[in-house]
Amino acid sequence: DMKKSTREHDQKCAEQVAKLTQIASEDLDLEQVLFASCEPMVEKFCKPALKSEDEGKVLGCLINHKNEQEMDEKCQAGVLHFQIISMTDYKLGFAFFKSCKKDIQMYCHDKAAQQSKPQIVHCLSERIRDAVLSESSHDISDVCRSQVNFELLSESEDVRLRPEIIRACALDIKVHCGDTKPGAGRIEECLKEKKDDLSNKCAGVLFEDIEIEADNPTVDYFLVKACKPVIHAHCGHAANMKNVMPCLIEQIGNDLMSKECRMAVKARQMMGAENIKLNPQLSKACHLDIQKVCPAEFGEMKQLVSELKADMNSEKGALF
């Protein structure tokens, strides 16, 4: 009948659109609008990627440089649009699909059926984190682990790439972060600042992100961006490790550290003191023994939270 025929045509059309979008993500030349907007930016930021045989790297390079001051607004908007499209179906993100196809089939096939890229990324991320915490060998391939890190960092940059946060936190964002411009990790950082005032649903979803970033600060976009000069100058040895936070805490009085970076470091230090799950090194070593065996030290940790709050309140001016 007509309804059945329409559904069949709609399905065929959707499949063709998905196929063309996947091809376009692999070959930037086929995404004419994006390429026209971004050609000068590709020349400026991504010449090595353009010369490589893997043209999917060009889009990845543009994502990495999306928030540079010299980035053209039209190109930035085009890159964001492409990121949003690829969220709905992980196969549309060519680099991710290519790097993690086998790992997805092996370990996240149930999530793959739903096609949601953020859900699959977080499934793989949990698998990686579990291997680290249990000190067992990784079953997720090296190339996929690297791509998952890239995807987590990209998601951390803009809540518009995080549908679960948008669903859970729409009202909270409107109430607490309505004047905050999306992008560059600003909305999520604003939510972190207001975490005590958020709805339970929003706070729960946000905590999952904070926990991932505490385990691996290199996917914390706002922290990495704000502290880039200090990380490069003093924490380069820890840039791909979990030692970035201890290094940044050591450098808190360094002249290279901007106010934005200092506030971000103190905020994460405070969250780690408030909740042991956000202090992975201590959590891994001590688990549930801290309050039982070290009540005095636990009291000192609570005192540290108060001191950090006082320090942050004394900082003049708002970041957003």
**What pLDDT digit, counting tens, does each position of 10-50 carry?**
555 555 545 545 544 444 444 556 777 788 999 999 888 87
Predicted confidence at residue 175, as pLDDT, reads 97
265, 270, 275, 280: CA torsion to nearest 10: 30
Q: What whole-number distance in Å separates Cα of residue 227 and Cα of residue 260?
A: 8
- Is the model's pLDDT at 289 over the cut of 70? no
**What pLDDT digit, counting tens, does each position of 262-277 carry?**
999 999 998 988 887 7
Is residue 3 packed enough to be buried (19+ CB in 10 Å), middle (13-18) or exposed (0-12)?
exposed
Predicted confidence at residue 81, as pLDDT, reads 87
The mean pLDDT of 133-152, rounded to a whole number, is 89
Q: Residue 317's CB: how many other CB atoms inside 10 A?
A: 5
**What pLDDT digit, counting tens, does each position of 221-256 carry?**
999 999 999 999 988 765 455 678 989 999 998 999
Which of 19-28, 43-52, 163-172, 276-285 is predicted with the least confidence, judged by mean pLDDT?
A: 19-28
- Is the model's pLDDT at 187 over the cut of 90? yes
The mean pLDDT of 81-93, rounded to a whole number, is 83
231 neighbors 239 (Cβ within 8 angstroms) = yes
Q: Residue 45's CB: how many other CB atoms inside 10 A?
A: 21
Q: What whole-number distance in Å separates Cα of residue 85 and Cα of residue 34?
A: 13
Please, what is the average pLDDT of the chain? Answer: 80
Q: What angle, 0 to 180 degrees and rounded to 10, lies between the N-to-C axes of helices 94-107 and 142-157?
A: 120
166 neighbors 159 (Cβ within 8 angstroms) = yes
The reported pTM is: 0.76
Torsion sign across C-alpha atoms 229, 223, 85, 129: positive
**String of DSSP letters for 139-155:** -S-HHHHHHHHHHHHHH
Q: How is the chain split into domains, by residue range?
A: 14-87, 216-320
Q: Which amino acid is at 148?
A: V
